[in-house]
Chains A and B, each alone.
Chain A
Amino acid sequence: MNVSIQREDFDAAREIAALRAGDAGVGAVVSFIGTVRDRSAGNGAVDTARMELEHYPGMTERAIEAMVAAAHERFRIIAARVIHRVGVLQPLDQIVLVVVSSSHRGDAFAACQFLIDYLKTQAPFWKKEHRPDGTAEWVDARVADDAALERWGLSSGNAS
């Protein structure tokens, strides 16, 4: 299983070890970990007490599996693993892990970035930030994330 949506935390070292276990054709492993920040505004003020992540069970898994398949078509990679957490998360918590293995580093770096750029604008997840004062609001999609996907020649249509 290369895609998991789960409430539990993950162990990146264990996932990396599992992805490359027994495959001496692997020469490079690149990983990305997204973590919960305690600030969302541009001014650096601490404004996030906790974060809630909602997803669309079934569709989210299928969408990310299709992204992994697209990464295999575009890049010479050997394997990929994506874990995304849902539920209530605290600042400092890990949210998302993307790990890609390949023979050489170039394709692993590119595919890892491709997968996280793709996931951020096309996988059905929604973040709600809870403020220290007890209020909460849904996070707005960022135009910069659309631009990140468009660098790969894919149109986003998410924030814009």
Chain B
Amino acid sequence: MQVTVRYFAALRETLGGQETVQVAGGATLGALRDQLIASGPRHAAALQRGRALRCAVDQVLTDESAVLADDAEVAFFPPVTGG
């Protein structure tokens, strides 16, 4: 199945605004992050474990245990700093 992955702030500057990614059916957000890390050095540096990152699925904050559906909109971004 396929999902759209969006990036914001510093991640957007290194990885671009969005990409379409093929993932296994029933994949979790954590599995998608692993797959992206394995896809190349820029992704590995930006998404590496231990780096403070937040994530959303279909525009709701969630964690890496979230199970992805086909056509899901996933987002990775740094801790937020509004207000």
Residues of A whose CB lies within 8 Å of any CB of B are 34, 53-56, 58-59, 62-63, 84, 95-96, 116, 119-128, 138-141, 145, 157-159
Interface string of B22-63 (1 = CB under 8 A from A): 000000000000000000000000000000101010011100
Are A59 and B79 in contact, CB atoms less than 8 angstroms apart? no
Chain B residues, CB < 8 A from A126: 8-10, 77-78, 80-82
Are B81 and A119 in contact, CB atoms less than 8 angstroms apart? no
Count contacts on B: residues with CB < 8 A to the other chain. 19
Q: Which of the residues B6, B12, B59, B80 comes within 8 Å of A158, measured between beta carbons?
A: B80
Minimum Cβ distance to chain B for residue A117 (Å): 9
Chain A residues, CB < 8 A from B77: 56, 124, 126
Residues of B whose CB lies within 8 Å of any CB of A are 6, 8-10, 12, 52, 54, 56, 59-61, 75, 77-83
